């Protein structure tokens, strides 16, 4: 079964367990935050700081049930660490590490900071660069639940995202 999900139109790596025992072990790692997930995103604007952490709660938007939003009271804890990898043509390529895994967490946290993802039809609908949000699950690492072996998987930046920065 599927161990974790990624947003619709997000590219990259996923973990799928082949047995109930493996699924249980992988799900526990995800819940304990020992499974490391690193994403790449392309956002509008240049960052004022090269790296940082967003620690803001997220809850369903009061204005639109399809959206999530940063909230000052209530909601669920959400933590995203970011590091700028490159900046070109008014865009930034950012590496993002999730401590938590809330619905639309990266998309919401980046918009909250003033760096919305390009192509994000839901949270920044005036985007025209690509036909989806520029979000890619780049690296996933965990301990194999049966053998105890450290595992790491990566997926290269997809062509549609790379073309924005490196036409």
Q: Which residues are catalytic?
A: 7
Under a CB-based contact definition with an 8 Å cutoff, are residues 124 and 116 in contact? Answer: yes
H or E element, residue 137: strand 135-143
Query: Is 149 exposed, middle or buried (CB count within 10 Å of its CB: 0-12, 13-18, 19+)?
Result: exposed
Placement of tokens 């895994």 in the chain = 101
Placement of tokens 């952490």 in the chain = 53
Please tell me the distance from the alpha carbon of residue 70 to that of residue 60, in angstroms, as a whole number. 9
Placement of tokens 């204005």 in the chain = 63
Please tell me the distance from the alpha carbon of residue 153 to that of residue 140, in angstroms, as a whole number. 5
């Amino acid at each position: 079964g599927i161990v974790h999900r990624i947003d619709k139109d997000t590219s990259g790596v996923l973990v799928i367990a082949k047995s109930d025992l493996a699924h249980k072990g992988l799900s526990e790692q995800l819940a304990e935050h020992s499974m490391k997930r690193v994403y790449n995103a392309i956002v509008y604007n240049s960052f004022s700081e090269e790296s940082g952490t967003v620690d803001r709660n997220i809850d369903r938007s009061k204005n639109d049930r399809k959206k999530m939003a940063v909230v000052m009271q209530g909601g669920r804890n959400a933590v995203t660490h970011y590091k700028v990898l490159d900046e070109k043509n008014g865009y930034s390529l950012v590496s993002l590490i999730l401590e938590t895994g809330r619905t639309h967490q990266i998309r919401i946290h980046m918009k909250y900071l003033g760096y919305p993802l390009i192509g994000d039809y839901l949270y920044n609908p005036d985007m025209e660069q690509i036909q989806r949000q520029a979000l890619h699950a780049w690296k996933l690492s965990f301990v194999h639940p049966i053998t105890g072996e450290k595992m790491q998987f990566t997926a290269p930046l997809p062509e549609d995202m790379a073309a924005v920065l490196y036409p």
